[in-house]
Structure 1
Amino acid sequence: MENNILGTNLVCQIAMIVRDVEKATLRFSKLLGVPAPAIILANEDGSDTVTYMGEPTKGRVKLSFFNMENTVIEFIEPTEDPTTWKEFLDTKGPGVHHIAFKAKNRMLEKAAELEKFGFPLIQNGDKYAYLESTEDLGVILELLDID
């Protein structure tokens, strides 16, 4: 994978923006016949440092995660905080927001390489970075600083 800028070809997450995370979570759990996961309000306490388009934001968001056999499916309901999630819902409506790749201990390094490649950083927190790649790929790329 020496020419692979990401350093991996394993997708670890697919995320959808929805208007109502509770409804989407219940519908998906019924579709799969599995218990509905907990819904969390991420960054409610402001412990994550979130930057959107170069500016600090609270970055609060409602989330649920389905741990599938081969990837994680994430449902995201934006709050009123300025974020890529809110912009996506306001401009495009519900839909696939991003696909994520693991970048353990290399998130910022890989984000810098992707910016040089032409995918600018649009939002990041302590453990994630979103890069604008929709013009070329039809979806935002996410790097996750996770195992």
Structure 2
Amino acid sequence: MHAQTPVQIAWVTRDLDATEKALTALLGAKKWVRMPGVAFGPDSCTLHGRPADFVADISLSYAGDTQLELIAPVRGDSIYTEFLATAGPGLHHVCVEVDDVEAALQERGAEVVQRGVMPGGMEFAYVSAAGAGVPYIELAYIPDEIKSFFEYVKQEQQ
């Protein structure tokens, strides 16, 4: 397995405004780009191995080269609603970019909690080591179209 640098740190929250304000002050993020109503359907997403159907509001920014992601569940059951119910708002996951999600999962021998494909073709899988204090690691394949969008978000920080 390759050593990998996390490309993203993510929080789950009930209040995007408050979390944006706090992370702007604490980490120096300058501008947040919101994506309201991002839908994940049962044809492209699973939760605990079963089809999942949920919607979340997402907000992105950067602190240096690290992407900051805020996720506020809107409806449906997801890894995010489960986290809020058990832990409350807080640090949820770090993301590492991989070339192949399936190969990365096999290499790690990790059990998938939630998996899917976002609009735009970004494939993701969340694995957990909660007993060791690591809520989730997200393994993500990020296609060029999504990388271009992320670069736009990053340039908004200039």
Scaled to the shorter chain, the TM-score interval is 0.7 to 0.9
Distance in 1 (CA, whole Å) between partners of 2:94 and 2:76 is 22
Which of 103, 106, 110 aligns to 2:104? It is: 110
Cα offset, 1:108, TM superposition: 1.3
Which residue does the alignment assign to 2:10? 15
Q: Which moved more, 1:132-141 or 1:119-128?
A: 132-141
Which of 125, 130, 142 aligns to 2:126? It is: 130
Structure 1 segments unaligned to the other structure (5+ residues): none
Question: Equivalent pairs: percent with the same residue?
Answer: 24
**Per-residue deviation, residues 13-68 of structure 1 (Å, max 9, x unmatched):** 11011111133224433552623x22213533849711111111123111111122
**Per-residue deviation, residues 89-136 of structure 1 (Å, max 9, x unmatched):** 0111011111110012x111111232x2xx310001121110022212
Task: Look up the SS of the partner of 1:44 in the other structure.
Answer: strand
In the alignment, residue 71 of structure 2 is paired with which amino acid?
A: I
CA RMSD in angstroms comes to: 2.3
Which residue does the alignment assign to 1:64? 59
Structure 2 segments unaligned to the other structure (5+ residues): 118-122, 148-158
Q: TM-score when scaled to structure 2?
A: 0.76
1:55 equivalent to 2:56? Answer: no
- In the superposition, relative to structure 1, how do residues 47 and 58 fare at CA in structure 2: closer, same or farther (>3 Å)? closer
For the Cα contact (< 8 Å) 2:42–2:53, is it kept in 1? no
In the alignment, residue 133 of structure 1 is paired with which amino acid?
A: A
- In the superposition, relative to structure 1, how do residues 43 and 63 fare at CA in structure 2: closer, same or farther (>3 Å)? closer
Distance in 2 (CA, whole Å) between partners of 1:91 and 1:130 is 17
Q: Identify the structure with the greater strand proportion.
A: 2
**Per-residue deviation, residues 57-85 of structure 1 (Å, max 9, x unmatched):** 12311111112212111111112311111
